[in-house]
Amino acid sequence: MNKPRIYLSSPHMSGHEQKFIQQAFDENWIAPLGPNVDGLEDDIEAYNSIDHCAVLCSGTAAIHIGLILLGVKQEDEVLCSTFTFSATVNAIRYCNAVPVFVDSEKDTWNMCPEMLRAAIEDRIKKGKKPKVCIIVHLYGMPSKMDELMAICEEYEIPVLEDSAEALGAEYKGQKMGTFGELGIYSFNGNKIISTSGGGALVSKNQEHIERAKFLSTQARDKAPHYQHSVIGYNYRMSNIVAGIGRGQMIVLDKWIEKRRNINKWYRELLSSIDYITFLEEPSEDFFSTFWLTCIYFNKNDQGVDREMVRLKLLEQNIESRPLWKPMHMQPVFKDFPAYVNGFSEDLFVNGLCLPSGSNMTEEHFDRIQSSLLGLLSPVTA
């Protein structure tokens, strides 16, 4: 195989990053604090129209700190989308709390409001009201926030939004991550912008973010010596890494536009293949970044299925990936309570993420086009 690999989503630098990194070196801010850390927090607050932000070493760390801020302790129950990446649930387990999984609905593939209500009512009936609800917006697609927030408000359950995959996405003109008590973003290598690794916690509530900064820098009390009254964490973002973030924030909207155009390109390319459906914005209320373009294979006479397409693309050195395997099916989480309707299990079997990087070239599009059309419509291609 000598054709270079086409990745699902790879880091895409803008050229602005080096300037911020150089500044950090020039001023010797080689530390987990400094002008880039403050600057990136300002950038994220301005971009999302949210008052307070703390940048941290990862999205996972942001979820962990977020759960601590919301008072999650051992044996507490935390509602959580089952259709997600394991990091969401790992953070619950770092608190020794109990994840309660909630299945997806067919319009957004995110948490189903009916299943959420059923889960809450059943947990209360069993004697315990869930402490927090983590709503995850996958693949850049906003969840049904009006419905989900109304249910959580009705039962007075605070919401933490896992917007690791949905930075820049909007519901009714409001940025994802800003609906709940807390929201998190990730800047890992394959996300819509990358700092090589990093995350952010945001909130309208200043106290939360001040506390997050305190906890993520080893929880040092105000004293001339080192004194500690609670357990701290070393979760703050480095000033070098934050410099990459500042460069990336400059181009975030451009990268979103590119990903949305890639999604459009795939939809046109595959429009005549009737057994393939796309994850699509259900209405004007939803603005997806289409971080990854996702397709679903319906049963068909041609005998085409997800795994066959994935393997054939791999032969051409084109990376694609099954959708997330639901958390209630994961060996490590299978014994926790789950409220499921079969939808996420079906998505896992029949869904595929296609290469969607904002740095894809014409040559990449040509290769993907000929591979996909060769596979899916052998007669007409």
The binding site for ligand PLP (CB under 6 A) comprises: 58-60, 84-85, 87-88, 136, 162, 164-165, 186, 188, 199
**Which residue type is seen at 275?**
Y
Task: Report, in Å, the least distance between residue 81 CB and ligand PLP.
Answer: 8
Closest residue by Cα to residue 116 from 79, 86, 153, 84: 79
Q: Cβ(250)–Cβ(244) under 8 Å?
A: no
How many other C-beta atoms can be found within 10 angstroms of the C-beta atom of residue 130? Answer: 26
**CA gap 300, 281 in Å, rounded:** 24
Which is nearer to ligand PLP, 338 or 372 (by Cβ)?
A: 338
Task: Report, in Å, the least distance between residue 187 CB and ligand PLP.
Answer: 7
Which is nearer to ligand PLP, 116 or 376 (by Cβ)?
A: 116
Which is nearer to ligand PLP, 66 or 273 (by Cβ)?
A: 66
Instruction: State which residue has the least CB distance to ligand PLP.
Output: 59
Q: Per the structure block, which two tokens stand in for 203?
A: 């909130």
How many other C-beta atoms can be found within 10 angstroms of the C-beta atom of residue 31? Answer: 12
Terminal-residue alpha carbon distance, the chain: 23
E strands along the chain, which residues?
52-56, 77-81, 98-102, 132-136, 159-162, 170-171, 174-175, 182-186, 199-203, 276-278, 286-287, 293-297, 321-322, 338-339, 351-354
Residue 318 three-state SS: strand
Which is nearer to ligand PLP, 85 or 233 (by Cβ)?
A: 85
Task: Report, in Å, the least distance between residue 376 CB and ligand PLP.
Answer: 28
Which is nearer to ligand PLP, 86 or 218 (by Cβ)?
A: 86
Q: Per the structure block, which two tokens stand in for 190?
A: 């394959």
CA distances from 12 to 7, 157, 251, 355, 358 (A): 12, 38, 10, 14, 7
Task: Report, in Å, the least distance between residue 62 CB and ligand PLP.
Answer: 8
Task: Report, in Å, the least distance between residue 58 CB and ligand PLP.
Answer: 3
Which is nearer to ligand PLP, 184 or 209 (by Cβ)?
A: 184
Beta bridge partners of 286: 171
What one-character DSSP code corresponds to residue 325?
P
Task: Report, in Å, the least distance between residue 188 CB and ligand PLP.
Answer: 4
Which is nearer to ligand PLP, 165 or 345 (by Cβ)?
A: 165
Closest residue by Cα to residue 188 from 293, 69, 291, 74: 291
Task: Report, in Å, the least distance between residue 24 CB and ligand PLP.
Answer: 21
**Residue entry with tokens 């209500």:** 117
Q: Per the structure block, which two tokens stand in for 93?
A: 């387990």
Task: Report, in Å, the least distance between residue 343 CB and ligand PLP.
Answer: 17
Task: Report, in Å, the least distance between residue 358 CB and ligand PLP.
Answer: 17
The H or E element spanning position 362 is helix 362-376
**CA gap 259, 292 in Å, rounded:** 8
Task: Report, in Å, the least distance between residue 126 CB and ligand PLP.
Answer: 27
Which is nearer to ligand PLP, 76 or 162 (by Cβ)?
A: 162
User: Nearest 10 degrees: CA dihedral of 301, 304, 306, 310?
Assistant: 180
What one-character DSSP code corresponds to residue 234?
B
